[in-house]
């Protein structure tokens, strides 16, 4: 069923009886050409683009719980293309272009809102770095504007401009960045994939891989054995656990990132603001809640909850940037488990096992990458070659010395 304004009008007149299920509850077949493990944003977008753009046939998405129940439903919904390095920026720009056309493409209201992202700067060195990054963005087809203090004040007059240590001296504005309704992304991709014949199999946990002579033959699951010509793994957060079943160790640690939302308020923050002097970023949801977050908790964990010291740190940072935040009440906080890779950049690559492909290591930036990650992973699964914007995301880059250290802070999760 195609969604449209006309359809809503018709349904309104006929008692909304014509709406059908958005995707089937598929039972697993004996075998598939492609099995995607993980029904999150990246897994569903992989299946969608594989079916739609690359003509993949007989595709299944296996999900341990329910689709969209992991980080695609737990993030702070920001999309952006404001990276510096050549290995990253073309990929994220490709992703943002897919976001811009996403709703028309999969006929689903994902509430893509390009409300602009402002990275604040507080000293001369940060201004130099922002100018350099802005130029790199423009060279790669993205957009960037360097604002001075007055430019920032015109947009956000309520910020703490005269902090003694970290006065706001300007910002790098990325107007095409913004936010998206995150759950609708998973649902839209699921529906789009299902319409093209993809089997989305929920409550189906992969318990092992069948590998013979260095080639994957299929996967054992809680719903029986499923044969597959190619298996793609998109289970960021649990990557180490799943790939360990194939005997692999990854350059990844799992960490928790917390996020917060305040009670609903009248519109106050039209875009997304990131603090340059502390780890804090904030936007306002369409329901009015201030959505904000900060740093990871900095220790290995698979618990989807963090601890109070980081809550305190995030809110202190928030208060130093937006003093008015102290008048709002915190409604809830939650945590998501991140694949923290050693250099802070992701992986979209073949493994040494024939037919087994890996997508993960998204750190705390996986949501904005959802469309491009799926597109590039589908390209890799279909053609066995990396997509031209995702050539740097190799699993062997630590051995070959081609790390993508976006922040220039070194190759260890506790540094970025």
Residue 375's H or E segment, with its range, is helix 370-383
- Closer of 233 and 381 to other proteins (Cβ): 233
Q: State the minimum distance, in angstroms, from the CB of residue 86 to other proteins.
A: 22
Q: Which of residues 292-331 bind other proteins (CB under 8 A)?
A: 298-303, 307, 309
Residue 43: its H or E element:
helix 41-52
Q: Which long-range contacts does 99-108 make (Cβ < 8 Å, 24+ apart)?
A: 99/180, 99/368, 99/371, 100/176, 102/185, 102/188, 102/371, 103/188, 105/192, 106/48, 106/188, 106/189, 106/191, 106/192, 107/2, 107/3, 107/188, 107/192, 108/3, 108/184, 108/187, 108/188, 108/191, 108/192
Kindly tell me which of 228 and 342 has the beta carbon lying closer to other proteins: 342
Q: Hey, which residues between 217 and 256 contact other proteins (CB under 8 A)?
A: 238, 240-241, 244, 249-254
Least distance in angstroms from the C-beta of 405 to other proteins? 13
At closest approach, how far in Å is the CB of 57 from other proteins?
35
In the three-class reduction of DSSP (H, G, I as helix; E, B as strand; rest coil), residue 318 is classed as: helix
54 lines the binding site for other proteins (CB under 8 A): no
Query: What secondary structure does DSSP assign to 64-125, as a single string?
Result: SSSTT-SGGGTS--EE-----STTTHHHHHHHHHHHHTHHHHHTS----B---EEEEE-SHH
> From residue 396 to residue 415, what is the string marking binding to other proteins with x (rule CB under 8 A)?
--xx-----------xxxx-
| Residue with smaller CB distance to other proteins, 409 or 412 | 412
Question: How far, CA to CA in Å, does 106 sit from each of 63, 109, 110?
Answer: 21, 9, 9
Q: 117-146: which residues touch other proteins (CB under 8 A)?
A: none
Q: Pattern 362-401, binding to other proteins, x per CB under 8 A?
A: ------------------------------------xx--
We find the least distance from the C-beta atom of residue 126 to other proteins, in angstroms, to be 25
Nearest distance in Å: CB 233, other proteins = 15
**Shortest CB 217 distance to other proteins, Å:** 26
Q: Which is nearer to other proteins, 22 or 304 (CB)?
A: 304
Handedness of CA 181, 183, 189, 195 (dihedral sign): negative
Nearest approach in angstroms of CB 255 to other proteins is 10
| Interface residues toward other proteins, by CB under 8 A | 238, 240-241, 244, 249-254, 298-303, 307, 309, 342, 398-399, 411-414
């Amino acid at each position: 069923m195609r969604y449209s304004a006309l359809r809503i009008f018709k349904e309104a007149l006929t008692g909304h009886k014509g709406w059908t299920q958005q995707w089937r509850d598929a039972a697993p077949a004996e075998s598939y050409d492609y099995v995607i493990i993980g029904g999150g944003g990246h897994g569903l977008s992989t299946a969608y683009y594989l079916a739609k753009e690359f003509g993949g046939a007989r595709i299944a998405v296996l999900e341990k719980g329910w689709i969209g129940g992991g980080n695609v439903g737990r993030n702070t919904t920001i999309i952006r293309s404001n990276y510096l390095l050549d290995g990253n920026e073309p990929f994220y720009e490709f992703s943002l272009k897919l976001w811009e056309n996403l709703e028309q493409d999969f006929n689903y209201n994902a509430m893509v809102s390009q409300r602009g992202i402002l990275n604040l700067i507080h000293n001369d060195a940060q201004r130099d770095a922002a100018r350099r990054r802005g130029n790199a963005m423009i060279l790669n087809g993205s957009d960037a504007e360097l604002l001075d203090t007055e430019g920032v004040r015109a947009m956000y007059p309520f910020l703490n401009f005269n902090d003694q240590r970290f006065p706001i001296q300007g910002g790098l504005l990325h107007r095409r960045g913004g936010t998206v309704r995150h759950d609708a992304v998973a649902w839209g991709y699921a529906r789009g994939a299902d319409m093209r014949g993809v089997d989305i199999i929920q409550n189906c946990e992969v318990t092992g891989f069948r590998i013979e002579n260095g080639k994957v033959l299929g996967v054992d699951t809680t719903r029986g054995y499923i044969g597959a010509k190619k298996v793609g793994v998109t289970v960021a957060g649990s990557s180490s656990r799943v790939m360990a079943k194939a005997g692999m160790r990854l350059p990844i640690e799992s960490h928790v990132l917390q996020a917060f939302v305040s009670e609903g308020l009248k519109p106050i923050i039209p875009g997304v603001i990131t603090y340059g002097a502390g780890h804090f970023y904030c936007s306002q949801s369409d329901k009015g809640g201030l959505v904000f977050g900060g740093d990871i908790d900095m220790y290995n964990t698979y618990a989807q909850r963090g601890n109070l010291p980081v809550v305190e740190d995030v809110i202190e940072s928030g208060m130093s940037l937006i003093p008015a935040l102290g008048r709002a009440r915190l409604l809830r906080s939650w945590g998501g488990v991140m694949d923290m890779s050693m250099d802070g950049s992701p992986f979209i690559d073949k493994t040494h096992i024939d037919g087994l492909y890996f997508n993960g290591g998204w750190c705390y930036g996986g949501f904005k990458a959802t469309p491009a990650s799926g597109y590039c992973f589908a390209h890799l699964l279909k053609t066995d070659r990396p997509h031209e914007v995702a050539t740097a995301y190799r699993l062997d880059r630590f051995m070959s010395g081609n790390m993508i250290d976006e922040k220039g802070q070194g190759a260890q999760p506790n540094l970025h």
